[in-house]
Structure 1
Amino acid sequence: MKQRTLKKSVEIVGIGLHKGVPVKMRLEPLPENSGIVIYRSDVGVTIPLKKEYVVDTKMATVLGKDGVVVSTIEHLLSAVYAYGIDNLRIVLDNDEIPVLDGSASGYCMLIEEAGIAELEASKKAIKIKKEVVVETEDGKKVSLKPSDRIVYDFEIKFSHPAIGTQKFHFDYSIEEYKENISKARTFGFLHEVQYLRSIGLALGGSMENAIVLDETKILNPEGLRYEDEFVRHKILDAIGDMALLEYTLIGEYDAIAGSHHLNHLLTKKLYEDKDNYEIIDLEEANSEAVIFEMAYAKESV
């Protein structure tokens, strides 16, 4: 199995979630073994997609280098990672990825518009060999476990009557990602939005790009895209955060009330011990390559 990039460059203009200002974004093909990088064209700084460059995880996953940051990267990276793209340059003229409709479906359409090209170099993956767990005293937990498949299991528990306890099990394929994960929107509570705006954040947030809830109900007139849209979006976020592993994951991701912060700690902890994982070449590892051949089989790119 070969590394992947885009067939051509594609460009969009959208609004940043937190600053609410227009952002021009262009996705550009890169040659084999280049990895994924983000280029801030307004200041001339390139930030590699590596866990070492994560500078904030409170409201979103934020990368930074030399005092330059790029925020809210997880929705775009979720789509890029799900489509198995290994080499890509993301060019921005501001410090946020455009939020689009608060999901990853627009990024899927952008990737499909560009098309996917296979390169000559073989694709590599990171295979989990030992369970790695990060948990907090209040019961929040994220883990990576050995598996011959690519699986995401997530559980959330909210006291809000419109959410409650939700669980979702996702067996990875591009087609399943497009249909069951990519369309799930980010969500927030009205009182939190009001506070965030008071400190200069969430200025671009609206019911056009997020599910908004008051104390008892969903405020969006169109309602939900899925009955359990909230937990599906959490999986969308987790896939984006796992892109910081730098290689396609083979294993099982499990979470109970996971977050960007816990996901970042998990990627760091995984790499602390080389016995936790193995980097495999998918040209040589036939059984693992079959996983991806099956996962990519129905893609319409």
Structure 2
Amino acid sequence: MKRKTIQNSFTLSGIGLHTGTISKITVKPMPDEHKGIIFIKNDIEIKADVKNVLTTKRSTTLGIKDQSIKTTEHLMSAIFALEIDDLYIIVEGDEIPILTGSAEPFCDALKKAGIIEKEGEKEFFVIDEIFEFKVEETGSEFICMPSEYFEARALIDFKSPVVNKQFAEILDIRTFCEEYAPCRTFGFFSEVEELLDQGLIKGGNLDNAIVIADKKLSDEDIKRFSKKLNIDKIDMEEEGILSTIPLKYPNEPARHKLLDFMGDIALMGMPIKGRIIAKRPGHYANIEFAKFLKQKAVKQKKLKGLPKYDPTNEALFDIYDILDHLPHRYPFLMVDKIIEMGEDYIVGIKNLTFNEQLFQGH
């Protein structure tokens, strides 16, 4: 499968969620080089890679030297889902614009720019065995298993009567832009109010975010919150949900968590073939998991083409079966067991132990 970039450049601008200032990004094709996704800020190149993650507090921040870019996850999720490998992203400002609080504007802009193939083959990280990864600090768990395509499921569990346990699942990455990208970021009332009091999330509003009540809200609570957002009046359209736009899906928070997860693991730097179940994902846990996947990908690349041998698997023929088939005896019995057979090949194992003649005298 060929690598992909875009055909035409495009620019998006808007307010930043955390800084409240206007940011602009210009996304450009990378037709010739195979450098991956490269952010550029003040002429400094910052590769979209887990090694360049500076912090995961409230969003994922990439940086190098004295340059940093906040809130990369929504843009990266769109790039990952559209299977784009190489881009330049010039950033003017301190963060990626929040826009609608989702990945939808990025999906739309990337598709409109034209996604094209280029020279060079994609290199996938292939999940070829079942394994799991836990992040004790957050109680997060990631379970991986083989699949021919990328599939993912996110399970969330919040102590809230409104959003308690939810899950979202993507089985076909081609459905991302329509069914997952529009889902907005969210936060809980108590947490959001505290951040507003601290002068943070200056670009947040009820158009680009969902606020979920984590306690019973009085009229006074809502009135006070409205004032902090400079809104005349907030109506609670759905039980426990503060937003100017109705929920797009009953499980919109879980879908957004899946969106964030995809944007974060994109920083491992390779497309993935495999199924991942993410329990209680979050930026910190996602990035720790992405680091783990990258280590496995490096190891997989080193072992590419080499036969895999699991000593715990039962042999097709053990030493006694071989003795029944061959007239040879020690020391000319050169095979101890047969582990695999095909139409035109046989894989056998010979154990080298200290009693072998080649070791005598050493």
Classify the TM-score, shorter chain. Answer: 0.7 to 0.9
Q: Does 1:210 find its partner at 2:209?
A: yes
Does structure 1 residue 266 correspond to structure 2 residue 289?
yes
Instruction: Tell whether 2:245 aligns with 1:222.
Output: yes
Partner of 1:254: 277
Match of 1:114 in 2: 113
Shift of 1:58: 1.8
State the alpha-carbon separation in 1 of the partners of residues 158 and 111 from structure 2. Answer: 35
Separation (CA, whole Å) in 2 of partners of 1:8 and 1:273: 34
Report the equivalent of 2:263: 240
Please name the residue that 1:39 is paired with: 40
Displacement of 1:276 in angstroms is: 6.4
Paired residues for 1:90-239 under 5 Å: 90-130=89-129, 131-136=131-136, 139-174=139-174, 176-214=175-213, 215-216=215-216, 217-239=240-262
User: Are the equivalent residues in 2 in contact too, given 1:142–1:255 (CA < 8 A)?
Assistant: yes
The aligned counterpart of 1:3 is 3
147 and 23 in structure 1: CA distance in 2 versus 1, 3 angstrom threshold: same
Secondary structure of residue in 2 paired with 1:272: helix
The match for 2:345 is: none
Between the aligned partners of 2:193 and 2:111, the Cα distance in structure 1 is: 36
User: What are the within-5 Å matches in structure 2 for residues 271-286 of structure 1?
Assistant: 271-273=294-296, 277-278=300-301
Given that 1:127 and 1:280 are in contact with CA atoms closer than 8 Å, whether structure 2 keeps it comes out as no
Structure-2 separation of matches of 1:182 and 1:251: 21
Give me the whole-angstrom Cα distance separating, in 2, the residues matched to 1:138 and 1:21. Answer: 31
Aligned counterparts of 2:35 and 2:289: Cα–Cα separation in 1:
24
Q: Which amino acid is the alignment partner of residue 73 of structure 2?
A: E
SS of the residue corresponding to residue 124 of structure 2 reads: strand
Instruction: Please list the CA deviations of residues 221-280 of structure 1 after superposition, one character each: whole Å capped at 9, or x if unmatched.
Output: 432000100100011001101111111111112111111111111122233356864599
**What is the TM-score when the length of structure 2 is the normalising length?**
0.73
Q: 2:308: which partner in 1?
A: none
Corresponding residue for 1:291? none
AA paired with 1:162? V
Equivalent residue, structure 1, for 2:21: 21
3-state SS of 1:111 partner: helix
Higher RCO (C-alpha 8 Å, min separation 6): 1
Unaligned runs of at least 5 residues, structure 2: 217-239, 305-362
Q: Distance in 2 between the 1:16 and 1:79 partners?
A: 18
Quote the offset at 1:159 in angstroms. 2.4
Counterpart-to-counterpart distance in 2, 1:163 and 1:51:
30
Rounded Cα–Cα distance in structure 1 between residues aligned with 2:204 and 2:290 = 29
In 2, are the aligned partners of 1:211 and 1:219 still within 8 Å (CA)?
yes
Do the aligned partners of residues 192 and 279 (structure 1) sit closer, same or farther apart at CA in structure 2, a change above 3 Å counting? farther
Provide the C-alpha distance between the structure 2 equivalents of 1:239 and 1:112, rounded to a whole number of angstroms: 18
The separation in 1 between residues aligned to 2:296 and 2:262, in whole angstroms, is 22
- CA gap of 1:274–1:37, structure 2 versus 1, over 3 A, is closer
State the Cα RMSD in Å. Answer: 2.0
- 1:138 CA drift (Å): 6.5
Paired with 2:300 and 2:284, the residues of 1 have a C-alpha distance of: 21
Amino acid at match of 1:265: E
1:167 is displaced (CA, Å) by: 1.5
Alpha-carbon spacing, 1:12–1:221, altered in 2? closer, same or farther (3 Å): closer
TM-score under structure 1 length normalisation: 0.87
Query: CA–CA distance in 1 between the matches of 2:98 and 2:83?
Result: 21
Q: Name the SS of the counterpart of 2:176 in structure 1.
A: helix
CA distance in 2, matches of 1:117, 1:123: 13
Question: Which amino acid in 2 is paired with 1:181?
Answer: Y
Over 3 Å off, 4+ runs:
271-281
Question: Percent identical across equivalent pairs?
Answer: 34
Structure with larger Rg: 2
User: What is the alpha-carbon distance in structure 2 between the residues aligned to residue 243 and residue 122 of structure 1?
Assistant: 18
Instruction: Determine helix, strand or coil for the equivalent of 1:222.
Output: coil
Contact 2:207–2:244 at 8 Å: present in 1 too? no
1:290 aligns with: none
- Report the 3-state secondary structure (helix = DSSP H, G, I; strand = E; otherwise coil) of the residue aligned with 2:242: coil
2:243 maps to a residue whose letter is: N
Give the distance between the partners of 1:203 and 1:59, measured in 2 at CA.
13
Q: Find the aligned partners of 2:63 and 2:95 in 1 and give their Cα distance.
A: 12
Asked whether the equivalents of residues 181 and 259 of structure 2 are also in contact (C-alpha less than 8 Å), the reply is: yes
Amino acid at match of 2:134: V
**CA distance, structure 2, for counterparts of residue 46 and residue 137 of structure 1:** 32
Unaligned ranges ≥5, structure 1: 282-301
- What is the deviation of 1:34? 2.0
